[in-house]
Amino acid sequence: MSTLYSRRTVLQGISLLSLGLLAGCDDSSKLSFKYGKDLSDKIMGRSFKLKDTQGETRMLGSYQGLMPMIFFGFTQCPAVCPTTLARAAQAKKLMGRDGERLQVIFITLDPERDTPELLDQYVKAFDPSFEALYGTLEETAATAKEFGVFFEKVPSGDTYTLSHTATSFVFDSRGNLRLGLSASLTAQECAEDLLTVMEVC
């Protein structure tokens, strides 16, 4: 019974423990958010592969260590897209220094009209740290499907607009999907729930 752990083993154990504490990572599968929806048990958005406005390939793993918040939209959207991006910029500010780890990612659902140049200018008008991603029509459809994002073209005169899911999807810094923020929430409410995600990892 009295098999004593060697001093080394004990030390290793302690250092591992403290590493875990330092990183502040908590593997709890459920989180309780005040406003948003807990998506911790959902497996979504793990394998998208799109391009950023510089033409670089981006995947979820490209954002390791950051807290990615993904929103789908299109630049000709007059209402929910600018409002949600403005809200994200405001929430980032409200989070103070923690906000530096929030990486807002705008994925266009309209790659036919949203050129990389336009996307770049558009997202950076809200916050210079925001990124925009795009893919081919097929890649866009596959990515939306992966997130359970609905979108559909609505003809409007000689042009079209899009109906689409307006949820913002938040991952923790290890790439686990955590939180869904509905378009109806305020910047303050989003900031509070985003800080809850940060407490976990």
- What residue ranges bind other proteins (CB under 8 A)? 75-80, 82-83, 85-87, 89-90, 113, 115, 117-118, 121-122, 125-126, 150, 154, 156-159, 161-167, 182-184, 186-187
Least Å from the CB of residue 86 to other proteins = 4
Residue nearer to other proteins on the CB measure, 2 or 184: 184
Least Å from the CB of residue 126 to other proteins = 5
Least Å from the CB of residue 38 to other proteins = 15
Residue nearer to other proteins on the CB measure, 33 or 198: 33
Residue nearer to other proteins on the CB measure, 151 or 174: 151
Least Å from the CB of residue 75 to other proteins = 5
CA distances from 13 to 20, 24, 26, 136 (A): 11, 17, 18, 49
Distance between CA 142 and CA 186 in Å, rounded? 30
Q: What DSSP assignment string belongs to 26-59?
A: ---S----SSSEE-TT---SSS--EEETTS-EE-
Residue nearer to other proteins on the CB measure, 31 or 162: 162
**Cβ neighbours around 39 below 10 Å, total:** 21
What is the signed CA dihedral for 64, 68, 43, 133, rounded to 10 degrees? -100
